[in-house]
């Protein structure tokens, strides 16, 4: 079996296997696909929903099967979180990073975890250098396979899946901007745009990360 990348999607849903009727906010979905053959151009896809918040912040994770239209439980996060970021690593695993616990602004997290679709388990990886939440929904992957983590801090960090560590990029933003967007450009750079600081006043500023 080999894993391929599908477009990243964000979902908010009220019909889950765990029976939560409240809206799960900030649910991140990374698509995974099964075996592919030349005679079968249709890809089998599943979606991995991780964390979120209804009445409480949850550590649960579920897989959505578009064939059956059903959710099934999978492994649980080590740390309940929402307003986090997720990214699909080159080997098909999923990086879950940052976010907040139920204290929101006072509970920003430094921890990070990796979901393995083969074992359906989460394992802890190195922590961020700075706690951060209200992150872009998808972390952009560089040509090197490293992942760019921005937002919620003046610093941009880069996750190296080979070493399992977060590296701090040179340079700093002028504030800790929240809910920024990340877009990978064709030349390998990453456009980081928008967001708002603690004052909730949005910005039109943009930044460029150069690997």
Look at domain 9-209 and name its CATH class: mainly beta
**What confidence score (pLDDT) does residue 210 get?**
95
**What confidence score (pLDDT) does residue 159 get?**
98
**What confidence score (pLDDT) does residue 75 get?**
84
**What confidence score (pLDDT) does residue 56 get?**
85
How many whole angstroms separate alpha carbon 24 and alpha carbon 53?
Answer: 5
**What confidence score (pLDDT) does residue 171 get?**
92
CB burial of residue 208 (10 Å; 0-12, 13-18, 19+): exposed
Q: Is the pTM of this model over 0.85?
A: no
* CB-CB contact of 177 with 153 (8 Å): no
9-34: b or e for each residue (b if 16 or more CB lie within 10 Å)? eeeeeeebeeebeeebebbbbbbbbe
With a CB cutoff of 8 Å and minimum separation 6, the contacts of 201 are: none
Low-confidence ranges of the chain (pLDDT < 70): 1-49
């Amino acid at each position: 079996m080999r894993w391929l990348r599908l477009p990243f999607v964000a979902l908010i849903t009220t019909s889950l296997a765990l029976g939560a009727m409240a809206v799960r906010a900030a649910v991140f979905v990374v698509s995974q696909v099964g075996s592919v053959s030349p005679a079968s151009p249709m890809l089998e896809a599943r979606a991995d929903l991780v964390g979120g918040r209804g009445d409480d912040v949850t550590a649960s994770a579920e897989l959505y099967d578009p064939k059956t239209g059903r959710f099934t439980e999978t492994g649980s996060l080590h740390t309940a979180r929402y307003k986090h970021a997720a990214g699909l690593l080159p080997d098909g695993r999923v990086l879950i990073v940052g976010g907040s616990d139920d204290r929101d602004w006072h509970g920003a997290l430094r921890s990070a975890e990796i979901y393995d679709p083969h074992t359906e388990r989460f394992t802890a990886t190195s922590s961020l250098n700075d706690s951060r939440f209200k992150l872009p929904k998808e972390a952009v992957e560089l040509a090197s396979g490293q992942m760019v983590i921005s937002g919620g801090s003046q610093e941009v960090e880069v996750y190296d899946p080979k070493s399992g560590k977060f590296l701090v990029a040179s340079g700093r933003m002028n504030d800790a901007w929240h809910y920024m967007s990340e877009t990978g450009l064709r030349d390998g750079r990453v456009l980081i745009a928008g967001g708002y600081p603690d004052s909730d006043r949005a910005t039109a500023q943009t930044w460029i990360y150069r690997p």
